[in-house]
Each structure stands twice: as C-alpha cells, then as structure tokens.
C-alpha cells in the first residue's frame, strides 16, 4: 500500500502537480506542453512561508528543441493562486490547439 502511494502524484484539475524545492511542474510530461512555476520570493504568514512572487512558463516537451525554443510563454504573478490560474489557462489552450 505504501509503495502505491509513493508513485501517485498530487493532481490539480486532473493533471499531475510535482514540486521539487521552489520549482513546481504542472501537466503530463508525455503531453506536448507542461507548465513550470518557480517561486521567486516568499512572505511569512502565521509561521508559514507563502509564495509572493512566482514565475510561470509554458514549456514545450519536444526533446529536439533547444532550451530557448522550449519556452513558449512567460509571466510573473503575485502569489501561487494567480500563477496556478494562468497556468491552467495556458496549458489547456496549448493542448487544445
């Protein structure tokens, strides 16, 4: 049972959400696009560190593309909620078209 729990990812609106330090990936790596969010600044609130500045990037998963060609869109948002909001919109639009 513990083995199965380790292999499952947290999801948001049906897509995997994986965090490594201050970097969060949203989407399936097997799809054409994923979102990368980097927490650039934090604020303390009631003993917790909350993201106050987040960079959001829509990335192509094409292995043949160069590093600069993989970045499709970039934005900076105040807070993780705003970052997740734009991330969902960008990813849905990119995967549809």
Q: What is the structure's pLDDT at 5?
A: 56
- Residue in 91, 93, 96, 97 with CA at minimum distance from that of residue 28: 91
Burial zone of 42 (CB within 10 Å; 0-12 exposed, 13-18 middle, 19+ buried): middle
- Read off φ and ψ for residue 60, nearest 5 degrees: -80, 140
Q: What is the structure's pLDDT at 24?
A: 96
Q: What is the model's pTM?
A: 0.84
C-alpha 66/C-alpha 91 separation (Å) is 20
pLDDT digits (tens, 9 = 90+) for 52-95: 999 999 999 998 988 889 999 999 999 999 999 999 999 999 99
pLDDT digits (tens, 9 = 90+) for 7-45: 678 998 989 999 999 999 999 999 999 999 999 999 999
Q: Is 32 in a helix, a strand, or coil?
A: coil
Domain ranges of the chain: 2-96
């Amino acid at each position: 049972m513990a083995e199965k729990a380790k292999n499952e990812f947290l999801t948001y609106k049906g897509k995997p959400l994986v965090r490594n330090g201050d970097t969060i990936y949203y989407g399936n790596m097997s799809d054409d696009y994923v979102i990368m969010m980097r927490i650039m600044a934090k604020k303390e609130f009631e003993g917790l560190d909350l993201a106050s500045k987040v960079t959001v990037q829509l990335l192509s998963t094409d292995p043949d593309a160069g590093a600069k060609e993989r970045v499709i869109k970039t934005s900076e948002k105040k807070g993780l909620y705003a970052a997740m909001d734009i991330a969902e919109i960008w990813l849905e639009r990119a995967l549809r078209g």
